[in-house]
Chains A and B, each alone.
Chain A
């Protein structure tokens, strides 16, 4: 079990990166569907996807437990078939970060996709391109700014996730103690020096991340 101060940072970056990858894939798909398709339950889908943004993370965490706990609505089947539960694993931390960061991606990407000039999309269709090709080569590149902004926001949110993570991944040193959880433990345990060091490291990391993210986005755009 790795007890060092670096483990929480390493774990947070790992969890946030994996979560962001899923957020981009799922979020972009959802944003595309919400902005360009019409179906009866569209508003309901939008509300469900946005809910984790409005609900306190502990409420989201509670729902995840009800769904995926060992005796949860879905979790019980997973446990019965595989003897495995997501609770108290770093995958649970990824799931928590994914759920809370997804709305940020969906909202920003949807706005970006909706702002793409409809004429350009029609032009692509009249030239014979498929919807898939149009989405990939016309819409997404034109919505680049919003998508990148959404990705940065999602990663940042995933790095800072605390409430839902604490509930489903627990705060197990060396296994699921992400930086926010480790700082909380240090502060609650009266370990001021540990807490201070971690807070400074985390702030520096976040600052550097934003600096490079901005630089990169300027270069791409």
Chain B
């Protein structure tokens, strides 16, 4: 009996230890990029391009709401590059001392659109129409952590409908969840980036684009995170993002690239 237990313990010990030991043979050019989830499709393509141009390198993406990602980095998450959907989250990180300042650059602009499920037959022509009684649920990102949620709140303020639609709001954890809620018909309308609407263009209908003056400028910054163990690779990845090739990929997905300051 004791022998059986001893053998089982030994086997389970090795079953746990050996896999852990083998993962320590990491490629030294591996970086983790925390990026706003709206960048998912564009960045995944840029990541593959980077890996094909730099054999032996590996780019892993950590996608989510910029606010959540920023909190993770502040909490010590081992991230090499941070790309957010708003200046605020990068500023927060910068002020807390987590950004390699000289690598910080703004790389794309975006715009925000009002969408409805493609099967919806409610007539909506503007943001103000959200006051209509037939619109019972509106999905937006949680303004506390999701940039698009803040832009949405700003647009509501601009059209002076904030109070009237407050009780209709369903807060989502990130912009892709807003998109999913609308695509699945769980809500009557939602506000996402125009780039996200493109991803599910058959499941959602764009009603209108929010005018630029209705919210803060939607500028995406990118930077190397201080303490990165692979700063060279991190910088090189950012260079690819801001290069002509990178900008071409971003344009393909609907982003408006900003020419890098020379």
State the A residues within 8 Å of B (CB). Answer: 1, 69-71, 85, 87-88, 166, 170-173, 185, 187-191
Q: Is the CB of A171 within 8 A of B74?
A: no
Mind listing 20 A-B residue pairs with CB under 8 Å? A1-B166, A70-B186, A71-B185, A87-B186, A88-B170, A166-B173, A170-B170, A171-B142, A171-B173, A172-B170, A172-B171, A173-B171, A188-B71, A188-B144, A188-B145, A189-B67, A189-B144, A189-B145, A190-B67, A191-B144
Interface SS, A side: loop
B95: Cβ under 8 A from any A Cβ: no
Selected contact of B186 from candidates A69, A173, A188, A189, CB within 8 Å: A69
Taking the closest CB of chain A, its distance from the CB of B86, in whole angstroms, is 14
Q: 20 other contacts beyond A172-B171, A173-B171, A188-B145, with CB at 8 A cut-off?
A: A1-B166, A69-B185, A70-B184, A71-B184, A71-B186, A87-B186, A88-B137, A166-B173, A170-B172, A171-B171, A171-B173, A172-B169, A172-B170, A185-B145, A188-B67, A188-B71, A188-B144, A189-B67, A190-B70, A190-B71
B167: Cβ under 8 A from any A Cβ: yes
| Binary A-proximity of B170-214 (CB < 8 A = 1, otherwise 0) | 111100000000001110000000000000000000000000000
User: Which 7 residue pairs spanning A and B have beta carbons closest together?
Assistant: A189-B144, A71-B185, A190-B71, A88-B170, A70-B186, A188-B68, A70-B185
Residues in A with CB closer than 8 Å to B71 are: 187-190
Taking the closest CB of chain A, its distance from the CB of B63, in whole angstroms, is 15
Chain B contact-residue range equals 10 to 19
A168 and chain B: residue at smallest CB distance: B186
Residues in A with CB closer than 8 Å to B167 are: 1
Taking the closest CB of chain A, its distance from the CB of B166, in whole angstroms, is 7
Taking the closest CB of chain A, its distance from the CB of B259, in whole angstroms, is 33
> How far is it, in angstroms, between the C-alpha of A191 and the C-alpha of B92 when the chains are bound?
13
> How far is it, in angstroms, between the C-alpha of A171 and the C-alpha of B172 when the chains are bound?
8
Name the interface residues of B63-80: CB closer than 8 Å to any CB of A: 67-68, 70-71, 74
> How far is it, in angstroms, between the C-alpha of A172 and the C-alpha of B142 when the chains are bound?
9
> How far is it, in angstroms, between the C-alpha of A185 and the C-alpha of B68 when the chains are bound?
9
Q: Which of A69, A173, A189 is the most central at the interface, judged by chain B CB atoms within 10 Å of its CB?
A: A189
Residues in B with CB closer than 8 Å to A171 are: 142, 171, 173
Known: A172-B170, A173-B171. A185 touches B186 (CB 8 A): no
> How far is it, in angstroms, between the C-alpha of A88 and the C-alpha of B187 when the chains are bound?
10
Residues in B with CB closer than 8 Å to A188 are: 67-68, 71, 144-145
Residues in B with CB closer than 8 Å to A88 are: 137, 170, 186
A191 and chain B: residue at smallest CB distance: B144
Q: Is the CB of A85 within 8 A of B186?
A: yes
Taking the closest CB of chain B, its distance from the CB of A169, in whole angstroms, is 10
Selected contact of A69 from candidates B67, B74, B166, B184, CB within 8 Å: B184
Taking the closest CB of chain A, its distance from the CB of B84, in whole angstroms, is 14
> How far is it, in angstroms, between the C-alpha of A57 and the C-alpha of B184 when the chains are bound?
21
